[in-house]
Copies of this chain bind each other. A is one copy, B any other.
Amino acid sequence: MTIQTELIGETAVEFPCPPLGAAELSAAEAERMAGMFKALADPVRLRLFSRVAAHSSGEASVCDIQNVGVSQPTVSHHLKKLREAGLIISERRGTWVYCRVAPGVLPAMAQMLSPRDMHIN
Q: Which residues of A contact B (CB under 8 A)?
A: 20-25, 27, 30-31, 33-35, 37-38, 40-47, 49-51, 53-54, 69, 101, 106-107, 109-111, 113-116
Contact = CB atoms under 8 A, between A and B. Distances in A.
B24 A46 contact: no
A24 B64 CA distance: 12
Count of identical protomers in the assembly: 2
A115 B111 CA distance: 11
A77 to B, nearest CB: 16
A69 B28 CA distance: 13
A46 B25 contact: yes
A50 B37 contact: no
20 contacts: A20-B49, A20-B53, A20-B54, A21-B106, A23-B50, A23-B54, A24-B50, A27-B43, A27-B47, A30-B44, A30-B50, A33-B40, A34-B41, A34-B45, A37-B37, A37-B38, A37-B46, A106-B115, A110-B111, A110-B115
